Homo-oligomer: A and B are copies of this chain.
Amino acid sequence: MLENFFGQVLKKLREERGISQENLGHNSGLDRTYISLLERGLRVPTIVTLFKLAKVLDKKPSEIISLLENLNENSD
């Protein structure tokens, strides 16, 4: 389920910033369609990609991972 949790968190953070997938992709050096895949839980990023996304979203990578830990605890 970790893929889905990451997707949910990413979408939430992106929408909080009020930017489009297109914009997030462009500013993080990633493809527009790949952002879409991530948010739908169809891909899981490497930690390098995590750092790129975090920078644009103005969050620490570790903060994003923390959110995943919380969701992950109450899952199995």
Contact = CB atoms under 8 A, between A and B. Distances in A.
State the copy count for this chain. 2
Contacts of A48: 2-3, 44
Interface of A: 2-3, 6, 44-48, 50-51, 60-63, 65-66, 68-69, 72
A49 to B, nearest CB: 9
Q: Is the interface of A mostly helix, strand, loop or mixed?
A: helix
A-B pairs, top 6 by smallest CB distance, nearest first, are A62-B65, A62-B66, A62-B62, A44-B46, A61-B65, A65-B65
B68 A47 contact: yes
Contact of A47 (B6, B60, B63, B66): B6
A39 B44 CA distance: 21
